[in-house]
Amino acid sequence: MSGGSAFVHDLALEAYGFGADHPFNPIRVRMTIELCESLGLLEESSFVSPEPATDDDLRTVHYLSYIRRVQEASRGVGDLAELVAYGLGTQDNPIFPDLHLACSHVVGGVLRASRMVMGGEVDHALCISGGLHHAMRSKASGFCIYNDAGVAIARLKEEYPGIKVAYVDTDVHHGDGVQWMFYDDPNVLTVSMHESGRYLFPGTGGVKERGQRKGHGYSVNVPLEPFTHDNSFIESFEAVVPEVLRAFGPDLILSQNGCDAHVLDPLAHLSLTTRVYEHVPRRVHELAHELCGGRWVATGGGGYDIWRVVPRAWSALWATVSHQDLPDEMPEDWLEKWGEESPVKLPASTRDDETDHPPIERTPLIEQRNCRTVQKLLEKVLPLIR
């Protein structure tokens, strides 16, 4: 399999979700898998099944006391008030049976993908169940219980001393959990492009969050204005991401590919289309080959228009990871099956018609503000990265 791509997935990974009434619904993963199959993108690929992460794996970034609380919650025991203090049993992070196993399996998936890439088994690997970037060392947050990227990065740092990992996060929400875990580490560059925390959870991710001590300069945040459209997002991405990655010189790129910045997403206020969800993976792919021998691990993340957006965005992601062309038309069998369940009309094309989502009148002002943010960021951060 060396030189190819791996899709790390099995049915057990679809157990992580909080039910149909919660925004984080695992049906989005099933719909993506079936869309990839119907589009013919999985014909020459077989899934790689991961093992769940061990307690020792989780302890690389999470406190043991927190892991024990998650395990108690999974068994239906533990003091509710204490669990809530750990972010468990809240509206965002409700408890369900075997919560610990379901989430540790996701962590194991991203860890397996990362080890395959660094071990030279494949150039690229995808685990769309991953991307749970809000989980903190001792607290669940924003639908995230364990931090899969954090564990994978920490394990690779142990197994490959001196490794430099670039984490690139284009979820609409700030990648806060991963940032704080490596905030003082000059060998981990975290880059997050997101809607400004002035308007959106988790309220962090400002330009001034640049890392601390030896890690000063290695946390890069691009907070964007609400209603940012494709052109401004892509211009901001191109101005920042290639520059900071080239200055850093990573050995591996781990990308979080949340698609909740799409204009149809109900939980945020950016106005992107599928154009961005092809552009970003393509550019990360190119940068991986330019800078680190193609070593690229991709995960999913947020995405809450599960019917019209997530399956198309992540199918485009897999097409890029696996060096395949994305067909233009949505397959009839997929549309027929999922159209019966969808409360909204499903799109007939894998790509958005941009005339359906035109920029708003304030777009020129939004673009100017984003441009100023990018300029300020580059002036302050680029000189610090070695």
Q: How much is the pLDDT for 139?
A: 98
Pairing label, strands 296-299, 124-127: parallel
Residues in the chain, total: 386
Domain spans, the chain: 5-384
Class of domain 5-384: alpha beta
Q: How much is the pLDDT for 1?
A: 45
Running along the chain, 386 residues long, what does each successive block of 10 average in pLDDT?
85 92 94 97 87 98 97 90 94 94 98 98 98 98 98 98 98 98 98 97 97 97 97 98 98 98 97 98 98 98 98 98 97 97 97 90 95 96 90
SS3 label, residue 293 = coil
For residue 359, what pLDDT is reported? 87
Q: What is the dihedral of CA 130, 133, 137, 143, to 10 degrees?
A: -80
> Can you give the pLDDT at residue 2?
56
pLDDT at 96: 93
Interatomic CA distance for residues 92 and 346, integer angstroms: 27
